[in-house]
């Protein structure tokens, strides 16, 4: 895999439609740019607070209202939820138990797990009936088995909760749309407002590089087969190089 250049989504067919939620962020914007350059993509629909000022991950009514508008563009073969926050109310991730604060923990779960779950609730019905992909930006730190350093309590826990929600939604979706794929994505450390306080640009990826790798990885995924003897595995969890991450 060459994560530096995106050559187009070949698995979704000609004329597919894509939806990017969180399109004003560094990664979301890179998804929009890459997909609009794909000749096979007929339409890229954006959702952001700039376009929908009422949109809030902490307000289900706003999500429901936007989903009603998006229904006019459906079905989508690709939906990408690029929302999320590492810094909450000006506070970065906690490094120790002594730094835990109930309100900030609740906000982290609201933005990184509950809000995305409500997006799943209202956007999954907009996926097409054939091969389709619902992808959500997650984080490697949401992996319980990969946690070697500790710290970042709220962010880790909210992303782990997100991963469980994605896995559970994938199992339900498989019963209705067996050709659909759900994926939790680790984009790497990307140059963005989210990562700037914690890592230098030299140690991070350009958004377009991360997105090229993620789209290539998604394009290569196969819908998991069905059958009496097949045990469905659920959602994928992978990084921008297409490598699987343990849950």
What is the pLDDT, as a whole number, of residue 115?
Answer: 98
Helix residue ranges, H only, the chain: 26-36, 60-70, 102-109, 115-123, 153-176, 207-220
Confidence of residue 204 (pLDDT cuts 50, 70, 90): confident
Return the closest-CA partner of residue 186 out of 150, 142, 137: 137
pLDDT at residue 220 is higher than 80: yes
- Topology (CATH level 3) of domain 16-239: Rossmann fold (3.40.50)
Alpha-carbon distances of 141 from 120, 138, 190, 221, rounded to whole Å: 21, 9, 14, 23
Mean pLDDT computed over every residue of the chain: 91
What is the pLDDT, as a whole number, of residue 89?
Answer: 85
The pair of three-digit structure tokens given for residue 80, joined into one six-digit string: 């990408």
pLDDT at residue 225 is higher than 70: no
What is the pLDDT, as a whole number, of residue 19?
Answer: 98
What is the pLDDT, as a whole number, of residue 1?
Answer: 47
Return the closest-CA partner of residue 163 out of 150, 189, 182: 182
Strand partners, 18: 44, 78
Alpha-carbon distances of 227 from 65, 108, 222, 232, rounded to whole Å: 38, 39, 15, 9
pLDDT winner (highest mean) among 102-106, 117-121, 146-150, 177-181: 117-121
Each residue's pLDDT tens digit, 11-24: 999 999 999 999 99
Domain range summary for the chain, segments of one domain joined by +: 16-239
Strands of 32-106, DSSP E: 41-47, 78-81
The pair of three-digit structure tokens given for residue 18, joined into one six-digit string: 């894509």
Confidence of residue 52 (pLDDT cuts 50, 70, 90): very high
Strand partners, 46: 20
* Rounded Cα–Cα distance for residues 23 and 163 (Å): 21
Higher pLDDT, 198 or 99: 99
* Rounded Cα–Cα distance for residues 187 and 239 (Å): 6
What is the pLDDT, as a whole number, of residue 196?
Answer: 57
* Rounded Cα–Cα distance for residues 247 and 111 (Å): 20
Average pLDDT (81-88) is 94
């Amino acid at each position: 895999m060459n994560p530096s250049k995106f050559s187009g989504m070949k698995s979704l067919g000609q004329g597919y439609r894509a939806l990017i939620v969180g399109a004003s962020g560094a990664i979301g914007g890179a998804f929009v740019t890459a997909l609009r350059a794909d000749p096979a993509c007929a339409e890229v629909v954006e959702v952001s607070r700039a376009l929908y000022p009422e949109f809030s991950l902490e307000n289900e009514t706003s999500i429901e209202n936007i989903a009603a508008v998006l229904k006019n563009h459906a079905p989508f073969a690709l939906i990408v939820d690029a929302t999320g926050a590492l810094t909450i109310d000006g506070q970065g991730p906690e490094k120790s138990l002594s730094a835990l604060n109930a309100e900030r923990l609740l906000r982290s779960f609201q933005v990184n797990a509950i809000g995305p779950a409500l997006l799943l609730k209202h956007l999954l019905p907009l996926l097409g009936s054939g091969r389709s992909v619902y992808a959500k930006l997650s984080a490697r730190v949401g992996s319980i088995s990969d946690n070697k350093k500790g710290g970042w309590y709220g962010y880790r826990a909210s992303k782990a909760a997100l991963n469980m929600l994605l896995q559970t939604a994938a199992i339900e979706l498989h019963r209705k749309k067996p050709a659909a794929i759900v994926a939790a994505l680790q984009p790497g450390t990307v140059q963005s407002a989210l990562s700037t306080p914690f890592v230098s640009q030299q140690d991070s990826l350009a958004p377009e590089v991360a997105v090229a790798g993620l789209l290539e990885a998604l394009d290569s995924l196969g819908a998991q087969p069905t059958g009496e003897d097949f045990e469905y595995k659920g959602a994928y969890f992978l990084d921008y190089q297409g490598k699987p991450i343990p849950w």
